[in-house]
Structure 1
Amino acid sequence: MPHVTVYPGTQNRPVYQVGGKSFVFFRNPRPDAFDPDTGERYDDVIVLWVPSEGDKLALVQDESSPFFTTPHFDGHLSVLIRARHLGEISYDELAEVVQEAWLSRASPRRQAAWLSAHLPDGGS
């Protein structure tokens, strides 16, 4: 995706931004995302922005999907996925989720330019 900068977040976990706005980041282990059997905090959670609450619900309510959320992210337009579960989705699905994350955070000018260059109808 164009105009992306990568910053080392806390504990050197990358934060991907467009126009100074995060759209994907690798989260530090937190108490709200943990193994229900051991209580161990997940250390491989990736946060991806989504365009709308409907998009979020579509991803997290699908029982076959590895995407999830926690109460900490209620009202936040993002979904979570563990890195170890990325293989459960196709490359195309992952690319679409990352593109949607980027589009949800990019400026309208950057969105329009990217859509015009990548969609057959120019995004309309």
Structure 2
Amino acid sequence: MVSLDDVARMATDLPEVAEVDRHGNRAWAVCGVTASGGAKVFAWERPFSKADIRRYGAEAPPDGPILAIRVADLHEKEAVLADNPDAFFTIPHFDGYAAVLVQLEKVDEAALREAILDGWRSCAPPELSRRYRP
């Protein structure tokens, strides 16, 4: 199992990344990206809301810590979901939004590291992304 501390380590190992608070949860952002010079979040802890849980009805929602990670576009989202359906998923709240959810209890470290890097690349300035070679 991968923990949120593992996520923090993977994310903050990337250039220009800071851990920030997002609605009382941990999130990771590329610094100085927005028009106002702010940080752009590419991964965040995403607990289920009461509305999310209601949408599951009688079915139990995925267990354990959940992480949301941005993807480049909706085509990439579909590819990520198809590549690792046991750990990556989506919910109706994310319909039409370029991000996937990850069940940390089911994802392996290599798949998570790749998803975090892809999320970072989708938010990092092109020049910074080109310079970074993992």
TM-score (norm. length: structure 2): 0.70
- Deviations along 1:49-98, whole A, 9 cap, x unmatched? 11121221012235743211111111111000122223xx3x22211111
The one-letter amino acid paired with 1:6 is: E
Q: 1:67 to 1:33 in 2, by over 3 A?
A: farther
- Cα RMSD, aligned residues only: 2.5
Which residue is equivalent to 1:108? 126
The one of 40, 57, 64 aligned to 1:21: 40
The one-letter amino acid paired with 2:99 is: S
The one of 73, 95, 109 aligned to 2:113: 95
The one-letter amino acid paired with 2:88 is: F
**Are 1:69 and 2:90 counterparts?**
yes
Which residue is equivalent to 2:20? 7
Which residue is equivalent to 1:32? 52
* Unaligned segments of structure 1, at least 5 residues: 119-124
SS in structure 1 at match of 2:77 = helix
Q: Percent identity?
A: 24
TM-score (norm. length: structure 1): 0.75
Q: 1:43 to 1:79 in 2, by over 3 A?
A: same
CA contact (8 A) 2:47 2:66 kept: yes
Q: 1:64 to 1:8 in 2, by over 3 A?
A: closer
Q: Which has the higher contact order (CA 8 A, sep 6+)?
A: 2
* Unaligned segments of structure 2, at least 5 residues: 1-13, 32-38
The one of 82, 90, 94 aligned to 2:103: 82
Q: CA deviation at 1:29?
A: 2.5
Q: 1:33 to 1:99 in 2, by over 3 A?
A: farther
The one-letter amino acid paired with 1:50 is: V
Q: CA deviation at 1:113?
A: 1.1
